[in-house]
Structure 1
Amino acid sequence: MKNLLSACLCIVIAFSSASQSSRIKAEKYPSLLWEISGKGLKKPSYLFGTMHVSNKMVFHLSDSFYIGIKNAQVVALETNPGNWQEDFSKYDLEGESMRYNLGRYFSRGNGSTPQDYLTSNSLKLQPFEKWMEAALYSNPSLINNFLYRNNSESGSDFEEDTYLDLHIYQAGRKLGKIVCGVEDFHGSMKLVKEAYADAAKEKKKSRSVDYDDDFSYARMEEAYRTGNLDLLDTINKVNSQSVAFDEKFLYKRNDIQAASIDSILRTGATLFAGVGAAHLPGERGVIEYLRRQGYTLRPIRMKERDSQHKESIERIRVPVQFATQTAEDGAYSVKVPGKLFSFGLSGGALDMKQYADMTNGSYYMVTRIATNAAIMGFSEAQVQRKLDSVLYENIPGKILSKKSILRNGYKGYDIANRTRRGDHQRYHIFITPFEVLLFKMSGNGDYVRLGTEAE
């Protein structure tokens, strides 16, 4: 399940932990960015090889990269990030990762291991202030995978606010482009599952156990940084462990992606397509497929990093339209700019729902914490004191303000905070006789502080 989740969220990471030998010279595929022309195209389109991470290493993007996006009518990625939440809601992936995340929290100091997944029943054994701590402390892994792909707090100084694929998506959306995918999400999921199944059945593995520094992850990063697709292609092949896996996970998807690109170009629209860099090179890669279809593909060398274009795009805020959503039992109503999706852990002591604004890089969460305080003999004042006692340690970063509020007869708090990364967040927390309701909004940098979305 972990392998499947990783593969599905990245959707196209076709690199094994690999890179390429600096002794091999890039000759045939010397760039990540390619101009597509010929075959009657009136204006050039562009093909770009991405890497599905937020590491600064992949953000050495020149003005030609941003000009390509600005000049395009259509921006295409492997699958459309704008549809991911609806797509992923049909798969039981978040439940396991969410239980792992919360289980890791509850295991602090009690001797249990992270593998002891949290369940609704185990939550009922915890004092309800522990449930409140978990709700404040937990950072859903699916939100991170959708919006940020940040590896750790310690590594945040070496990462951008989002990963490269979503940066392309956000640039397209903010510049008013049509955004789409060159693969069908469910078709990709099917191929991924089949690839793992075929690899498991394959008796003869294609790679030896010998390790070669020339094909390490560090060398792969070096190859990507320099746009050396020949090196990446060699590393992919050297580190391949299954011919059957590669056939469906890489080559079959190459064909699907290239055919979709061809279909878009046939409409006469100008295109900027970003797919995983491993899909581009080689005789069975996207570049050669398009050449066989009659297109001319020319490498564009990316030289100096263009931070001005990047920062100007990041400053654009796309307006959102809020709609009221009401809990199934009518316990609350909240305005959110999209559908709230349930996590795997719901219907028990903790019920969490979320919506990620993929364009602006923000998210909204609603968490219900069952206290049954009225039945257990706790007064509202006692629950409030317990809530007060856990705020300081479990609200991320620094609490900037804390105000008492009253809504429909229920007391609560309006809390503003700033994380160590510098991201502003906003909480509205209300106490009822049977539960604590927590409404949270978070976004990159000053997005929450400067806008009205959190009001």
Structure 2
Amino acid sequence: MKRSLLSIFLFTTSLFASAQAPTENSLLWEITSPGQAKPSYLFGTIHLICPADFSLSDSLKATLSRTQQVALEIDMDDPGMLAGMMKSMNMTDGNELKKLVTEQEYARLAKFYKDSVGVGIAMFEKAKPFILMGPLFNAVLACQPQSYEMSLVELAAKQKSEVIGIETLDEQMAIFDTIPYKEQVKTIISMIDSLPQARKEFSNLVALYKSQKINDLYNLMMASNYGMDGNEEVMLFSRNLKWVPRIRKIAAEKPTFFAVGAGHLGGDRGIISLLRKDGFKVRAIN
């Protein structure tokens, strides 16, 4: 349950060039902050992916072994994470799904989730609509998806490295109180109405991820019909700006393996560009 909810959340937050922007094709980067002798590393993940497309390279494992802690978007090793998510997943102000859609739309949603996903929609009645995206992807992916984040948590445990979060669960969950709930439902209905297109888009996204073309991946996400849809500032850019000083502080304390959604890496407002502007030396690792 915990793994499922975390994967749902992390995937949703991620779906939704200047001289400093990256031009190299790579998911793995060495980052060295000013005055630091030992480097840290930055890796771009994709939060849901079929096992056939999943891979942890030898170079990734080698770089992780040279670090003393793993920093994910949120601390997925926190034993209180599930309770925190259950506490903060509901909509504010007494909102319910039935109040956000017409009777016909609600009936369509209920039928789709029962017939195509195998879950009753009643259990999501008070949940922030983005939560529905998780089970919806069971209809998009023809597999039981695998999580890079959970695999990194397992590798960290083997080498007795601490797992920490760059931001808190409350900060992430609050994002979906700033995006109108009706907009969230609209995105879900749009995906249901165009499943073949959604499957094709996700397939293209996975292909770009496997080819490590982070700028092309960023551009696809920005153009997606199922992603941020005008909410780029709150879901992507403002978080990138907030993360950079936190990354600097964390890296200054001990060598760290940072792993965030790959959509945060590319572009002139991405993490790599911002780190370079902040004085970091950032080098692609193949």
Q: TM-score, with normalisation over the residues of structure 2?
A: 0.68
Structural mapping, 1:212-361, within 5 Å: 216-239=201-224, 244-267=230-253, 269-301=254-286
The one-letter code of the counterpart of 1:169 is V
Q: In the alignment, which residue of structure 2 is the partner of 1:46?
A: 41
1:14 maps to a residue whose letter is S
Distance 1:217 1:11 in 2: 12
Distance 1:57 1:295, change over 3 A: farther
- TM-superposed CA distance for 1:216, in Å, is 2.4
**Structure 1 residue aligned with 2:167:** 183
The answer on whether the counterparts of 1:8 and 1:192 sit within 8 Å (CA) in structure 2 is no
Letter in 2 for 1:41: Q
2:86 counterpart of 1:89 = yes
Matched letter for residue 190 of structure 1: A
Kindly state the Cα deviation for residue 253 of structure 1 after the two structures are TM-superposed: 1.5
What are structure 2's unaligned runs of at least 5 residues?
91-95, 97-109, 124-130, 185-195
TM-score calculated relative to the size of structure 1:
0.44
Q: Is the 8 A contact 2:45 2:260 kept in 1?
A: yes
Q: How far apart, CA to CA, are the structure 2 residues paired with 1:75 and 1:175?
A: 11
Give the structure 2 partner of residue 206 of structure 1.
none
Contact 1:58 / 1:224 at 8 angstroms: preserved in 2? no
Give the percent of matched residue pairs that are identical in Structure 1 and Structure 2. 26
What is the one-letter code of the residue matched to 2:173? M
Displacement of 1:13 after TM fit? 3.8
Q: Give the counterpart letter for 1:46 in structure 2.
A: Y
Deviation at 1:195, TM superposition (A): 3.0
Map of 1:37 onto structure 2: 32
- Structure 1 37/9 Cα, relative in aligned 2: closer, same or farther at 3 Å? same
- Give the drift of 1:174: 2.1
Counterpart-to-counterpart distance in 1, 2:121 and 2:25: 48
Alignment map for 1:56-135 (pairs within 5 Å):
56-83=51-78, 84-92=81-89, 115=120, 117=122
Equivalent pair of 2:30/2:40 in contact (CA under 8 Å) = yes
> Structure 2: how far apart are the matches of 1:90 and 1:78?
19
- Give CA deviations for 1:88-142 in whole Å, capped at 9, x if unaligned: 132355xx9xxxxxx99xx89xxxx965748xxxxxxxxxxxxxxxxxxxxxxx9
1:165 maps to which of 149, 166, 175: 149
Provide, for residues 162-189 of structure 1, a one-character-per-residue CA deviation record: whole Å limited to 9, x for no partner. 4111101111122100110001110111
Amino acid at match of 1:283: D
Give the 3 Å change call, closer, same or farther, for CA 74–12 of structure 1 in structure 2: farther
Distance 1:75 1:90, change over 3 A: same
Alpha-carbon distance between aligned partners in 2 of 1:249 and 1:36, rounded to the nearest angstrom: 24
Q: Distance in 2 between matches of 1:11 and 1:221?
A: 13
> In the TM superposition, what is the alpha-carbon distance from 1:8 to its structure 2 partner?
6.2
Which is helix-richer, 1 or 2? Answer: 2
Distance 1:80 1:12, change over 3 A: farther
Structure (1 or 2) with the greater strand fraction: 1
Paired residues of 1:198 and 1:244 also in contact (CA < 8 A): no
3-state SS, counterpart of residue 179 of structure 2? helix
* Alignment CA distance shift 1:13-1:55 (3 Å): farther
Please tell me whether the aligned partners of residues 25 and 214 of structure 2 are also in contact (alpha carbons under 8 angstroms).
Answer: yes
Higher Rg of the two aligned structures:
1
Counterpart residue identity of residue 15, structure 2: F
Secondary structure at 1:189 match in 2: helix
Give the secondary structure class of the aligned counterpart of 1:89: helix
Tell me, yes or no, if structure 1 residue 9 matches structure 2 residue 9.
yes
Counterparts in 2 of 1:278 and 1:196: CA distance versus 1, 3 Å: farther
Partner of 1:124: none
Contact 1:33 1:300 in 2 (8 A): yes
Shift of 1:198: 9.9
SS at match of 2:244: helix
Gaps of 5+ in 1: 17-25, 97-102, 119-141, 201-210, 302-455
Offset at residue 66 of structure 1 (A): 0.4
1:32 is aligned with what amino acid? L
Q: Secondary structure at the match of 1:273?
A: strand
Correspondence for 1:195:
179
Letter in 1 for 2:151: H
Q: CA deviation at 1:226?
A: 0.8
Please tell me the root mean square deviation across aligned C-alpha atoms, in Å: 3.9
Per-residue CA deviation, residues 58-79 of structure 1 (Å, 9 max, x unaligned), is 5222211001111111101000
CA distance change for structure 1 residues 236 and 294 in 2, over 3 Å: closer, same or farther?
A: same
